[in-house]
Structure 1
Amino acid sequence: MFPNAGDDSFYNGVTYNYHGEACQVPWRYEFVNQTDLIVVIKFSTRLYKTPYSIERIVTIDVTEQSLRVEESITNNGEQDLFVEWGQHIAFGEPFIGPGTRYASENDRVCRTRCSFITFKKGCAYLAN
């Protein structure tokens, strides 16, 4: 969800749709690595209403039985903007089923919310 989360919103003279623009623009993808044991796919997009580009790398590792999602967002503009950045990951079969276990390298990922994120050109500054 980016650059806003939740309901439609209005900021700086622009109306943003439910769950943000990132979920409604086209994404490109490329297979970075693909073997019998690992698949790495890079997804990328550029938003139209704001000067942001997004890159998401998804790694599926059969040996570790893991799915890893890494995401970066870059402000390609000159102006600092306030945004909301959230994940709304949903799984179903075949990833989730009887006996499935969820584990995270950092429990805080699941429980911590940043009150806002300020982007400066190329960097994200988080405030709790």
Structure 2
Amino acid sequence: MSHLHNDRNYGCRIKTELVYKGYSMVVLENEHFRLSILPGKGTDIIELLHKKTDTDFNWFTYLGLRKKEAAFTSFQMQYEGGWQEILPNLSGEHLHNGVKLEAYGEVSLSEWSYSIVKDDPEEIAVKFENNLRSMPLRIEKLISMRNDQAGFDIQETLYNTSTAIIMLDWGHHITFGSPFLQPGTRIELPDSRDAYRVPEPKSPGGFEVFPCDIGSYRLINPQGIGAEIKWDAGVWPYLWFWRDYGESTAAPYYGKHFNVGLEVFSSPPASLLQDNVIKGTAICLPPMGEKHASINFSVIN
């Protein structure tokens, strides 16, 4: 793991060797935006801060980020909100080809290595890597930021490191919450669907899945502050749209939350990875094959 780079307090800069609540943390920032990532916890993104308006688009659960404890190791017990990489399965804990798959995939629960690829005042880039245990896969994620950019870019490559055919699901579990998310926030969904308006607290929530030919959506709150996500719809052709406005007092959130999830995945929800294999939505990686994808986050203001 390489951390050597030039200390700098202007332009684009990177902060490494940080520890937050027991997890290693990397910060990428410029004069417009700050991005905080936890390679010690699945490369979770826990800060999406637009500096000019002091707006953090990130959402936290009512418990927030907790230190890892032996009694609470599952995705849900460690879930703090924010943004997670999900691989190689989207469903609950189960066996696939005789191998135990953790709920929502192991990469969101494990530590990634990282190295600094570019460190200039005009542009920075950090590469994060994870070699999976449950499948012969390696994922490389390059996160970059330019000095004129209020946002960031992610370029990813997924490698099959074996001579076997590997079936998998993959995607990004992205959530937004208050104070950015407010009643009246407009959500512009892909494929020319009518804009959705976020209701008042204690309204009923919901869950829908949209097949997406166009990989983009936007959220804009009543103050005109917003975010746009663009992604490779050819790799992640399904948008999962879930929302919790505190109407339900059932577990796991007990009426405490006001948030939406707008998550991009390779498949619709399924109980087992094998279900998506049978339906033909799972990604098929040939022996020693690879898959490339990208995603961009931009502030609207």
For the aligned pair, the TM-score class normalised by the smaller chain equals 0.7 to 0.9
Percent of aligned positions that are identical: 22
Establish whether residue 48 from structure 1 lines up as the match of residue 133 from structure 2: yes
Establish whether residue 112 from structure 1 lines up as the match of residue 237 from structure 2: yes
Of residues 33, 57, 75 in structure 1, which corresponds to 2:118? 33
Q: CA deviation at 1:9?
A: 2.4
Establish whether residue 12 from structure 1 lines up as the match of residue 179 from structure 2: no
CA distance in 1, matches of 2:122, 2:231: 21
Where in structure 2 are the equivalents of 1:84-123 lying within 5 Å?
84-90=169-175, 99-104=225-230, 108=233, 112-113=237-238, 114=266, 115-120=281-286, 121-123=288-290
What RMSD over aligned residues (CA atoms) do the two structures have, in Å? 2.8
The more displaced of 50-59 and 26-35 is 26-35
Where in structure 2 are the equivalents of 1:60-79 lying within 5 Å?
60-79=145-164
**Paired position in structure 2 for 1:2:** 87
**What TM-score, normalized by structure 1, do the two folds share?**
0.78
Larger Rg over CA atoms: 2
The more displaced of 46-55 and 97-106 is 97-106
Residue by residue over 1:22-75, the C-alpha shift from the partner in whole angstroms, topping out at 9 and shown as x without a partner, is 122221111111223322000011111211111000012231323101111111
Structure 1 unaligned residues grouped into runs of 5+: none
Establish whether residue 81 from structure 1 lines up as the match of residue 166 from structure 2: yes
CA distance in 2, matches of 1:39, 1:79: 36
Q: Give 1:112's aligned amino acid.
A: P
The more displaced of 42-51 and 58-67 is 58-67
